[in-house]
Amino acid sequence: MLNKVAVPMNRRSLFKLIGAVAGSAVMYQAMTELGHAGESGYTGPVELKGDPKGATVLILGAGMAGMSAALELRNAGYKVQVLEYNDRPGGRNWSLHGGDTYTELGGFTQHVQFSEGLYLNPGPWRMPYHHRALLDYCKRLKVALEPFTQVNYAAYMHSSKAFAGKPQRYREVQADFNGHVAELLAKATNQSHLDRTVSREDREVLLDAMRAWGALDKNYEYKKGFLTSERRGWVSDPGGGTTSQPTPSDPVALHDLMQSMLWRAIAAGHVYEFQSTIFQPVGGMGMIGKAFGRELGDLIRYNAKVTDIKQDERGVTVAYRDAKAGGPVKTAQAQYCICTIPASILSQIPMTVGAPMKSAIDALYYDSAVKVGLQFKRRFWEQDESIYGGISFTDMPNALIGYPNTRFFDDGPGVLLGAYTFGANSFQYAAMSPEERIKKTVEYGTQIHPQYPAEFQHGVAVAWHRVPWTLGCAGHWTEELRARHFDNLCAFDGRIVLAGEHASRLPAWQEGALLSSLDAVRRLHQRVMAG
Amino acid sequence: MLNKVAVPMNRRSLFKLIGAVAGSAVMYQAMTELGHAGESGYTGPVELKGDPKGATVLILGAGMAGMSAALELRNAGYKVQVLEYNDRPGGRNWSLHGGDTYTELGGFTQHVQFSEGLYLNPGPWRMPYHHRALLDYCKRLKVALEPFTQVNYAAYMHSSKAFAGKPQRYREVQADFNGHVAELLAKATNQSHLDRTVSREDREVLLDAMRAWGALDKNYEYKKGFLTSERRGWVSDPGGGTTSQPTPSDPVALHDLMQSMLWRAIAAGHVYEFQSTIFQPVGGMGMIGKAFGRELGDLIRYNAKVTDIKQDERGVTVAYRDAKAGGPVKTAQAQYCICTIPASILSQIPMTVGAPMKSAIDALYYDSAVKVGLQFKRRFWEQDESIYGGISFTDMPNALIGYPNTRFFDDGPGVLLGAYTFGANSFQYAAMSPEERIKKTVEYGTQIHPQYPAEFQHGVAVAWHRVPWTLGCAGHWTEELRARHFDNLCAFDGRIVLAGEHASRLPAWQEGALLSSLDAVRRLHQRVMAG
C-alpha cells in the first residue's frame, strides 16, 4: 500500500524506532498501521455480463478468495472446480470448536475440548464496518453478525515494569494521558509559546477545547476531583440514598504515565481497521467459510493437495493427491486457473509461470503469529472485574487478552483469547509444544487476572508458522518488495492469475482476499468475453 | 454528587461557560458530567436477614425503585403492595412499540405505528458496564442484553455553521483533533518551552507518544499521507489486485477544526457513563420493567392514582383513585411506605411529612428532555453510509441522531432516534404538537441525511415535561440544592422513606433509582428488626 502514497518515514526504520521505545503491543499496532490497512473499494456484487459459453476455471484453494471467485464465476455461467487441501472450506477463516482435531507441522495433534458453542478463531476475528465486500457476502450468505468490541474502558493496560506490575484500567490511562497532554498544551498556549502557530482567534477556542477534552479545571489543571474521576473512575462509587458519597481517584503523575509506556496502546482503537463499529459472526469466524462451502457444495474437492501446476496455450493442468490417503496422482484441467494458494506454499510447487510471477511468489515472506485460546470454568472477567468483551494489552509475550464478545453474562464456562502475538514472541511461542504454549499463556495471564490458576480448564494453541497449509499468517509486504513485485504477482501469467490477501493492499484482512479475487474474476471475464 | 467532592468550579458557572462557547451537544455532555455520574457501589443482591414477622410495606410507584424494593422485601418475608399510576410496570423504563397509545399532558394522543419489533425508548436507553445493580437485576430476571454503541467512527459530527453544513465523520474530526494537538505539543516541547514542566527524561518519551498517538510524521507534523489516512479515512480505498492504489485524504487545518466547534463532541465517549462497554435490553429498555412486572404479578395494582398520603404512629394510609375510570377513593394501609413518586408529582400530593422532607420535595426542579423516534422504509444509514449503530451529533435543535444498535443489516424498515434534546431546545419542542415535533425532526435530520424525505414513514415524540406521571425527565440537583436538601429527602420521615433516581447521586440513571431503593430497603429492614 505504501508505494505512490507519501510515507512519512521508511517502514523498516519506523518499526525499529517504535520497537526501541515500545513492546509488542505497539509493535503490533504499528505493523497494522503500515501493512494491514485501508477501506474497501467494494460498491456491490461484481457484474459479469455476457455468456462465457461454458468456459472452465480451476480454482486452487477454498478460502475467502477462492470461494468468492467460484461463487461469482459459477453464477455467471462458468464451469468451475475448486481444489482444497483441507477437509473443510474457509482456509484461514476458521474456528476451532470442541471435538475438532488439529495437527500442526512437527506432528503435534490437539484435540479441542471447548464446551458447546465456545470457540477460538485462530485466524481473523474482526470485521471492520468499512470492509464492505465481506459484510455483503455475509448478508448474501445469511451469516448472522454481532458487534465486536475493540476498546473496552474497563479492560487493562499492563506493564510488568510499571506500577509494580499492577494492571491499570484503559479508562485511567486514557484519561490521564489526555489530561496531561491538555494541561501541557494549555500551559504552552497560555504562556504565548505558540503565538506564531496559533492565531489569537483560535487561542481561546483551543484553551476551551483543552479544558473540555482533557477534563481540566478552571486553571487548566488536571487534578483529582469530580471532573477527572468522571473520566478515570472513582475509588468508591456514588450511589443512592444516605450512603451515596463517592470518593474521587488519584490521577497518575505525568512522569509515571510517560515512563510506564502504557500510553502506547491508547491509539489502537483510533486505527481505521479497529474503529467501532466492528463485527464478528455469531458462532465464530468460521461460519463464513462454512456458508460459502454450503453454497458451493460439490464444486469443492476437499483433501486435494496440489503438487504441480502446468499451463500451455490451451489450458491449465493441475496435479494433486489425496492429502490424507496419498495414493495416485490425479489431474484437473480447465481453460483458466485462479490460484489462491499462499505464496509460502506456492513457492514450493512446480508451476509453469514466467520469471516475474515466480520471483514475486518466491520473494514474499510470511508473518508469524500465534493465538492461544483458554477455557475457564466461569467468566470471572465479567463477574469480578466488569470486563465485557474488548482487549487488555500487556508487555508480556502473550501481548493481549481478548475477552469474548458474545454470550455476555453467561455463568460459564467461557473461552478467551489468552495470547495473540507477532514477531519475536511468536517465534518463541512456535518453538514450544502446544501444551507448553498454553502453560506459558496461563502464567502470563495470571499476572493480570489472578483468577487464572483456579479457573483454568484447558486450551488450544495455533502457531501460524506451523500451520501446514500456510506456513505463516499472512504475506508481509515491505515497501521495497511491493514496488518490485506486487504488479507482477497480480498480473495474468498466461492462463493463470493469483488471488488472496497477499495479492491485495489489505494484507492479512479477509477483505483484501475478497477484493483481489473480484479483481481477478473481472479481468478473467474480460479476457473470456474478448475471446 | 458534588458536595464534599472537590469541584473545580461552580456547577452553574461551568454550565454558563460551556454554553457560551458551545451548543447543545456539549451542554448535554457537561450536564452529564456534572449530574448524571458515577460507578455503582452495588456488590450483590441485598441481604435482609431475620424474620420481619408479617410487617407490611406499601410501595408507591412501579418503576425501577418501587419494583426492586417490592421484590427484595417480598423475598425477605414482608407483605408488600405496590400502587402504580400507569396501566403497565416500568415507569420511565419504557419502550413504545407499534400498537401502543400514549396521551400527553395537553391531550395529544399518539398511536404508535412502528413495525413489528421496532421501538423507541422515550426514557433510558443505555446501561453502562459499571451499573452493576441494573445488570444484576437483568440477570436475575432473565432479561437478555446486547451491546449498545456510543462511539461510532463512521457517524457524523455536524455543525450548520461549519464546512458549509457538510457533516464530517467522527473519525475525521478525532484524527485531526489528536493530530493537531500532538503537533502543537511536540512543537512546544521541541522548542524547549516546557523544560520546566517536563523533565529531560520524559521529554523524549513524550515526543514518541505524540508521534504514535497523533499519527505525526518523523518531523512531528500531522500531514496528508498514509499515517493520517489510516486514522481519518481515505478518499479512495485501497483494494485488491491490479486496481488497488489508495488515495489519501486531506486533514482539516487547525483553524477550521477549532472554529467548527466539532471537537466538542469528541470526549462524549470518554465520560464514565458513555464508555464502552454499554448494554441495552434486546427488544427495548421496557423489557426490564415488564420482567419486574411479571415477577411481582398482582402485588402491583395498576391505574392507581395516589391522592393523599397520611401517616401516624401505627402506620401509613394512602388514598388513591382509578386513574382511568375515576370513581370512589380507595385506601391502602401498611406499617411502612416506600414512596418512589417523582418529586415533581409528589409535591402536589398532600402528605403528612415534616418540613425538612416537604421542603426537599418542593425544591427539586425536573429537567426537560424530548425524544423523537422516526421510522424509515430502509436502514439507509447502514446501506448508504456504513453507519452501524452509535450516535451522530449536531448543533441543530434535535441535538443528535441515534442509530439502532440491533437488527444490523436488516433490509428495513428501521427506527432511529431522530432527536434527543435537553434545555432550551426541548422547551421549544415541548411547545409544539407531537406532529410538529416529528416534522421538525425530519427537517433537521435531512441536513445530515438527505435520504430522510424519501424514506420517512412515521414517528412518535415524547416531551418529558408533558408526561403526566413525571412532568420532566429527572430531578435536577444543583450543588446548592444538594447541600441543603438531599439528606432530608433521603431520611426516614416517620414511617415514610423516599426512593428513586431523585434520591440518589446518579440522577437520571436507572442505577441511581435501584441503589436508592436498596438503601431504603436496608434501612427499613433495620428498623423492623430493631422492633
Best CA proximity match to A94, nearest among A116, A119, A72, A69: A119
Say yes or no: A6 contacts chain B, CB-CB below 8 A: yes
Q: Is B496 at the interface with chain A, CB within 8 A?
A: no
Domain boundaries, chain A: 36-90+291-364+475-529, 96-154+276-284+368-466, 170-249
- The answer to whether A185 contacts B187, with C-beta atoms less than 8 Å apart, is no
**In the prediction, which pLDDT does A40 show?**
54
Per-residue pLDDT tens over the stretch B416-435: 999 999 989 999 999 999 99
Q: Look-up: residue for cell 479457573?
A: A455
Q: How confident is the model at residue A32 (pLDDT cuts 50, 70, 90)?
A: very low
Min distance A102 CA to chain B CA atoms (Å): 31
Q: Which positions in chain B touch A6 (Cβ < 8 Å)? A: 223-226, 248
For residue A333, what are the β-bridge partners? Answer: A317
Interface of B with A in 360-399 (CB under 8 A): 386-390
Categorize the per-residue pLDDT at A237 as very low, low, confident or very high, splitting at 50, 70 and 90: confident
Interface of B with A in 221-260 (CB under 8 A): 223-227, 229-231, 233-234, 236-246, 248, 254-255, 258-259
Provide the residue type at B142 as one letter: K
Q: Are B370 and B441 in contact (CB under 8 A)?
A: no
Nearest CA in chain A to B130: A386
- The beta-carbon neighbor of A240 closest among B227, B254, B504 is B504
Tell me how far CA of residue A135 lies from CA of A40, A269, B379, B388, in angstroms: 11, 20, 15, 12
Q: Residue length, chain B? A: 531
Q: Please choose, from the candidates B131, B64, B353, the residue with its C-alpha nearest in 3D space to the C-alpha of residue A238.
A: B131
Is residue A214 within 8 Å of residue A178, measured between CB atoms?
yes
For position A244, what pLDDT does the model report?
A: 87
SS (H, E, C) A318-350: EEEEECCCEEEEEEEEECEEEECCCHHHHCCCC
Instruction: Write out pLDDT tens, residues A468-502.
Output: 999 999 999 999 999 999 999 999 999 999 999 99
> Strand A101-103 and strand A390-394: pairing?
unpaired
Written in H, E and C, the secondary structure of B84-125 is: CCCCCCECCCCCEECCCEEECCCCCEEECCCCCCCEECCCCC
Q: What residue has cell string 424525505?
A: B453
Q: What is the Cα–Cα distance from A252 to A255, expressed in whole angstroms?
A: 8
**Does residue A68 surpass a pLDDT of 70?**
yes
Contact A194 B177 (CB under 8 A): no
Q: What 8-state DSSP symbol labels residue A360?
A: H
* Residues 6 or more apart whose Cβ sits within 8 Å of residue B383: none
Of A464, A484, A511, A516, the closest CA to residue A344 belongs to A464
- Fold of domain B168-259: de novo design (two linked rop proteins) (1.20.1440)
pTM value > 0.80: yes
CB contact under 8 A, A499 and B240: yes
**Residue range B142-195, pLDDT digits in tens:** 999 999 999 999 999 999 999 999 999 999 999 999 999 999 999 999 999 898
Among B residues 437-466, those touching chain A with beta carbons less than 8 Å apart? none
Instruction: Give the per-residue SS3 of B199-234.
Output: CHHHHHHHHHHHHHHHCCCCCCCCCCCHHHHHHHCE
Q: Model confidence over B68-117: pLDDT tens digits?
A: 999 999 999 999 999 999 999 999 999 999 999 999 999 999 999 999 99
What is the pLDDT averaged over residues A23-37? 40
pLDDT tens readout for residues A299-315: 999 999 999 999 999 99
| Upstream peptide bond of A413 is cis (omega within 30 degrees of 0) | yes
Q: What is the pLDDT of residue A25?
A: 42
Which residue did the predictor score with more confidence, B245 or A17?
B245
Interface of A with B in 47-106 (CB under 8 A): none
Confidence at residue B29, expressed as pLDDT on a 0 to 100 scale: 42
Which residues from chain A sit within 8 angstroms of residue B178, using beta carbons?
A: 267, 270
The CATH class of B96-154+276-284+368-466 is alpha beta
Q: Are B384 and B515 in contact (CB under 8 A)?
A: no
Q: Which fold has domain A170-249?
A: de novo design (two linked rop proteins) (1.20.1440)
- Which helix or strand (DSSP H or E) is residue A304 part of? strand A304-311
The number of angstroms, rounded, from the C-alpha of B4 to the middle of its chain's C-alpha atoms is: 25
**In percent, how much of chain B has pLDDT > 90?**
89
Per residue in A131-150, pLDDT (tens digit) is 999 999 999 999 999 999 99
**CATH 3.40.140.10 for domain A36-90+291-364+475-529:** no
Contact assignment for A271 to B231 by CB distance below 8 Å: yes
Is residue A349 less than 8 Å (CB to CB) from chain B? no
State the fold for domain B36-90+286-364+477-529.
FAD/NAD(P)-binding domain (3.50.50)
Chain A residues with CB inside 8 Å of B26's CB? Answer: 212
pLDDT in tens, A426-453: 999 999 999 999 999 999 999 999 999 9
| ipTM of the complex in this document | 0.92
Nearest to A8 among B217, B240, B387 (CB): B217
